[in-house]
Amino acid sequence: MSNLVFDGSLPAKRTICFPNLKILTMKRVTFSDDYSIQQLLSAPPLLEKLELHNCSWGDLKAVTISAPKLQYLSIREYVSIREYERRRSSNGDVCEVMVIYGKELVPQMPMFNNLMDLEFIGMSIDIHCATLLVLLQKFPCLKTLKFSEGIGAKSDGILNPVPPCFLSQLKCIKIDKYGGYDYELSAVKILLDNAIVLDEIVITCVLQRTQSCKKSFINS
């Protein structure tokens, strides 16, 4: 068996073994103990794609995923307020991860020490958002940070806390759907002031406001 879907329940057996499994999807599954989830997430040596959608984690404090061939991981919680997608390329291999988290779940996320490229999708990002700043603490080695739906900030100022990658690793910031508004310009200034090793910032303007956007940014 190479493709398996659990919808609503797990098998009653205490021993779960699928040595040839490559795709695993779990929807609305309740994990009653550490043993069942760790058996599923650590046993398949050939697992390439893992999706966990609207599962109930009970009293679990941590989850370890041991899958050396994993290429895609998606974790979705429908109480979410934040969505991010990351792609990592290493020696030609690409691993895609999409995680949708509720605010209260972000501090429980693991560290992604090898992640180098991070993209925010789905909504414009408030640079001063406390959840964002906590989230960025989980990616200490980021080289590229992209805001696909734009950014904003209510005022200028430093980030508190400043993400570790801003101080030593972050080389490129990409911002799409920039309209040239004051709140967007404030966000750009904050990024430039705090990303102290930045080499490049790439801003893509909204078509209708391209000229005013360029003037606003250059004058500032």
Sketch the domain layout of the chain as residue ranges.
1-76, 79-220
Residues contacting 98, CB < 8 A, separation 6+: 73, 74, 75, 76, 83, 84, 85
Average pLDDT rounded to a whole number, residues 77-82: 45
- Give pTM, 2 decimals: 0.59
Q: What CA–CA distance (Å, rounded) separates 146 from 156?
A: 20
- The mean of the pLDDT values for the chain is 75
- Tell me the average pLDDT across 50-56: 80
Contact yes or no for 16/42 (Cβ under 8 A): no
* Residue the block writes with tokens 């910031």: 173
* Six token digits for residue 20: 């040839």
What would the pLDDT profile of 88-136 be if each residue is shown by its tens digit?
Answer: 333 334 444 555 545 666 676 778 787 888 888 878 999 988 888 988 9
Report how far residue 109's alpha carbon sits from residue 84's, in angstroms, rounded to the nearest whole number.
13
Q: How far lies 97's CA from each of 52, 118, 137, in Å?
A: 12, 10, 17
Segment 177-194 shows an average pLDDT of 93
DSSP letter for each residue of 13-44: -S----TT--EEEEES-B--SHHHHHHHHHS-
CB atoms within 10 A of CB 186: 20
- The more confidently predicted of residues 68 and 14 is 68
